[in-house]
Amino acid sequence: MGRAGTLLLVVAKILYTPLSVGLGIGAGIVARKTFGVVWDKIDGPDNDGPPDAGDQDSPIGKVVLAAALQATTFAVTKTVVDRQGRRLFYHLTGFWPGDKVPAAGDPDADAA
């Protein structure tokens, strides 16, 4: 890759950074809302939300279930939003923001 190509990659990464931060914040908001809706379906909307590990009266099973469900919801939401954000950036710019596995026979691939 020539000097111009390297410069374009650097500029693309700089442009992707604020998009990535914004998508990360948005993913967190969506995940929190999604978890709240799912937890209300499990525990009922009349309760005060998921139990905290510090709540003395909460059964351990309920605390662990809430933590596992919350972690799963956040991880899946973040992954989907991150992946789709990268695909959108690639579609708009032609540059993949992140590691790209070189295709077989790619002259830009490092010789191992």
DSSP string, 39-108: HHHHH-TTS-SSPPTT-TTS-HHHHHHHHHHHHHHHHHHHHHHHHHHHHHHHHHHS--SS--PPPTT-TT
Encode pLDDT of 58-82 as tens digits.
899 999 999 999 999 999 999 999 9
**pTM confidence score:** 0.75
Whether the pLDDT of residue 52 is over 90: the answer is no
**In Å, how far are 23, 75, 93, 103 from 35, measured between CA atoms?**
18, 11, 33, 39
Lowest-confidence segment of 2-6, 12-16, 38-42 by average pLDDT: 2-6
| Average pLDDT in the chain | 85
List all residues 6 or more positions away from 63 whose beta carbon is below 8 Å from its beta carbon: 51, 52, 53, 55
Rounded to 5 degrees, what angle do the CA atoms 79, 80, 82 make? 65
Q: Comparing 12 with 85, which gets the higher pLDDT?
A: 85
Backbone angles phi, psi at 99, to 5 degrees: -70, 135
Domain ranges of the chain: 3-93
Whether the pLDDT of residue 112 is over 60: the answer is no
- What's the average model confidence in pLDDT over 47-67? 90
Lowest-confidence segment of 17-21, 67-71, 72-76, 101-105 by average pLDDT: 101-105
